[in-house]
Structure 1
Amino acid sequence: MRVKASEIEGDALDWSVAQVVQFPEIVYHKGKPVYEKAFDTAASPYHGERDRFFAGQYFQPSRNWEQGGPLTERTILKMEHQWEGESVWWRAWYTYEDYYQEGSTILIAAMRAIVANELGEEFDIPDQVAAELGIV
């Protein structure tokens, strides 16, 4: 299923971030990324933030500050907020270019920027995974 980085959220966004970071400890349960075992903190290919996670915990960086915060801190160059009426929207830049992603929270905007930078603005989620995640 073809999706846009600017539109995904929830389980689909978390699954997409898992595809980017590729922690070997992540397995999938009903399409959702989950940690299979505790991390070896000495062997972190993604800047050391894996030591915060535990076996059996879902990988939800777009909703969990312990998981998404370190990724945001290490990869996002700029964040800003916008008000639209009574709503606040966040923008996150992965690069110095004028390209950014938006979201209703800091973590959603940041994770969308990480995904768009690595997988593209539009990318495919396998149909079986999309069905497991409830994306139709």
Structure 2
Amino acid sequence: MKVANLEGALLDYWVAKADGCLEVVYLYQDDKYYATDCGVPVYYSRDWSKGGPIIEREGLVIAPRAHPDFIATMTWASQPYRGKSAQHIGSTPLIAAMRAFVASKFGEEVEDAPSVTG
């Protein structure tokens, strides 16, 4: 799966893995992933208190960017300040930054998350 297409709980799953959490589980009833060994619910791409420290620690640069097809639609771009990772785009600053973080750790493609069963 391309990192550029990750969003929601699936993006958060890969951020947790990139941040060093070894066991990340999906709770079907909550429709959310939890990083059990890190002791936190996984909301990196939706909560500044979770994603913000990663942005600061990793030196991720975030900037607004006009969508190429719709000038009135704003998107966000992010990439590490240091390193050679590609720029990543998202509909919010956190989504763009978390995609850039995942790509900096795993490259431009990741495996599918573990199967979800009810």
Shift of 1:33: 2.9
Matched, 1:15 2:13: yes
In the alignment, is the contact (CA less than 8 A) between 2:77 and 2:87 conserved in 1? yes
Aligned to 2:78: 92
| Residue correspondences, number | 111
AA at the equivalent of 2:4 = S
Matched, 1:75 2:58: yes
Q: Could you say if the C-alpha distance between residues 118 and 99 of structure 1 is closer, same or farther in structure 2, counting changes exceeding 3 Å?
A: same
Q: Percent identity?
A: 32
Two-structure CA RMSD over aligned residues (Å): 2.6
Matched, 1:101 2:84: no
Give me the whole-angstrom Cα distance separating, in 2, the residues matched to 1:125 and 1:27: 13
In the alignment, is the contact (CA less than 8 A) between 2:85 and 2:104 conserved in 1? no
Shift of 1:127: 4.9
Give secondary structure in 2 for the equivalent of 1:124: coil
Normalising by structure 1, we get a TM-score of 0.68
Query: Aligned ranges for residues 1-136 of structure 1 at < 5 Å?
Result: 3-23=1-21, 27-28=24-25, 29-30=27-28, 32-34=32-34, 36=36, 58-84=41-67, 85-94=71-80, 95-97=82-84, 99-129=86-116
